[in-house]
């Protein structure tokens, strides 16, 4: 991908894309139904934006909950040909409904297509008159472009669900996560920002409470060579040295230790989303301590009995042993726990 001045806006954001609307054939709105500061930490949203703008005759501009006017040109949402929405959290649905109402957009005239992990339960979105596709952006956007962004054509091909007819749908998964679309991210030119590194996509586990591990068939992971190319690019163009690792289970990547070493060697600060206590985590803890990361996150979810019912088989003893091992590290001094309640079958002994 050629990087020219039109890709750069160093005043407020790095790698914002600006195009002349008169030079394009299609105007696509890319909407994230939450705050703008949160959108920078959502890789799917970034990938959709970058992929669309890779086409010469497509102009894609971003929207967030903060405003019904685009970030790039202050153009109203209702003036775009199609609205694409990246949805990764069901609690953003009220925001989405408010944006549609505030923008005075008519879903019957301007098609709105929603993608993301939450689309595997399409009911609430279809109820708002929206189209839904569960396929990955890397697969669905080229097809959209070939059909001149005709969402009904996706429905006819069985790749999207219409709000009018509940039809069966196929899921197209990405073949790789190693591409420029995730490397080149729009980030603020100053302030506390993090670059997103997708270490894996998919999950080898099938925990019963987790949609992500049960709907994806493929496990994709980042290679060391691709990661080194990312790091070289980031060092050249971004002022920050903070990296947020994106992965449901980072230790499923066979190159995780090499990637961590590379990040440390190049002077990057990073953190893991969570660590399973039944995996080989020693090198990860050493690395987190080296970059002065003070907090480690684990997800016991519930009592040992309920945890086994949910598909996580590690024991309370393993959790305690994990905590004890943290004592030898100088900088790590906090453990963050992910827990939940309201599980069918739980009783007071579990709580």
What are the residue ranges spanned by the domains of the chain?
5-156, 194-339
- The whole-number pLDDT of residue 337 equals 94
- Look up residue 5 and give its two tokens: 């001045």
CA atoms of 131 and 150, how far apart (whole Å): 11
Q: Let me know if 289 is exposed, middle or buried by CB neighbors in 10 A (0-12, 13-18, 19+).
A: middle
- Nearest Cα residue to 276 out of 243, 246, 248, 244: 248
Q: Going by CATH, does the domain composed of 5-156 fall within 3.40.50.970?
A: no
Q: Which CATH class is domain 194-339?
A: alpha beta
Residue 184 CA to residue 341 CA, distance in Å, equals: 39
Query: How do the pLDDT tens digits run along the chain, 351 residues long?
Result: 344 334 333 348 999 999 999 999 999 999 999 999 999 999 999 999 999 999 999 999 999 999 999 999 999 999 999 999 999 889 999 999 999 999 999 888 899 999 998 888 899 999 899 999 999 999 999 999 999 999 999 999 999 999 988 888 999 999 999 999 999 999 998 878 899 999 999 988 888 888 887 888 789 999 999 999 999 999 999 999 999 999 988 999 999 999 999 999 999 999 988 899 988 889 999 999 999 999 999 999 999 999 999 999 899 999 999 999 999 999 999 999 999 999 988 998 888
The radius of gyration of the chain from alpha carbons, rounded to an integer in Å, stands at 21
- Beta-carbon count within 10 A of 266 CB: 14
Short-list 101, 124, 117, 97, CA closest to 34: 97
Tell me the C-alpha distance between 266 and 68, whole Å. Answer: 40
CA distances for 298 relative to 42, 118, 276, 301, 318, angstroms: 21, 23, 6, 9, 12
Q: How far apart are CA 154 and CA 82, in angstroms?
A: 14
Please tell me the predicted confidence (pLDDT) of residue 294.
93
3-state secondary structure of 158: coil
- For residue 2, the model assigns a pLDDT of 40
């Amino acid at each position: 991908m050629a990087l020219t001045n039109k890709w750069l806006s160093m005043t407020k954001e790095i790698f914002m894309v600006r195009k002349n609307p008169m030079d394009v054939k299609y105007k696509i709105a890319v909407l994230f139904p939450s705050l703008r500061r949160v959108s920078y930490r959502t890789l799917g949203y970034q990938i959709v934006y970058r992929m669309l703008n890779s086409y010469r005759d497509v102009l894609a501009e971003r929207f967030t909950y903060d405003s019904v006017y685009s970030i790039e040109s202050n153009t109203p949402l209702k003036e775009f040909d199609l609205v694409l929405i990246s949805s990764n959290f069901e609690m953003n649905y009220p925001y989405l409904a408010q944006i549609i109402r505030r923008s005075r957009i008519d879903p019957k005239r301007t098609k709105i297509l929603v993608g993301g992990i939450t689309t595997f339960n399409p009911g609430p979105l279809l109820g708002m008159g929206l189209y839904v596709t569960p396929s990955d952006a890397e697969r669905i956007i080229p097809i959209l472009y070939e059909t001149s962004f005709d969402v009904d054509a996706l429905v006819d091909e069985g790749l999207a669900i219409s709000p009018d007819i509940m039809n069966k749908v196929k899921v197209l998964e990405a073949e790789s996560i190693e591409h420029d679309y995730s490397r080149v991210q729009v980030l603020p030119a100053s302030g506390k920002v993090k670059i997103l590194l997708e270490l894996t996509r998919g999950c080898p586990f099938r925990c019963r409470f987790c949609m992500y591990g049960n709907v994806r068939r493929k496990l994709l992971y980042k290679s060391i060579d691709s990661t080194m190319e990312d790091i070289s690019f980031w060092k050249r163009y971004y002022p920050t040295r903070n990296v947020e690792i994106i992965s449901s289970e980072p230790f499923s990547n066979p190159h995780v230790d090499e990637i961590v070493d590379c990040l440390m060697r190049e002077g990057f600060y990073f953190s893991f989303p969570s660590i399973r206590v039944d995996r080989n985590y020693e090198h990860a803890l050493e690395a987190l301590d080296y970059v002065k990361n003070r907090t480690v996150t684990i997800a016991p979810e519930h009592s040992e009995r309920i945890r086994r019912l949910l598909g996580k088989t590690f024991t309370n003893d393993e959790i305690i042993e994990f905590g004890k091992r943290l004592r030898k590290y100088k900088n790590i001094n906090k453990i963050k726990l992910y827990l939940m309640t309201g599980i069918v079958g739980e009783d007071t002994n579990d709580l």
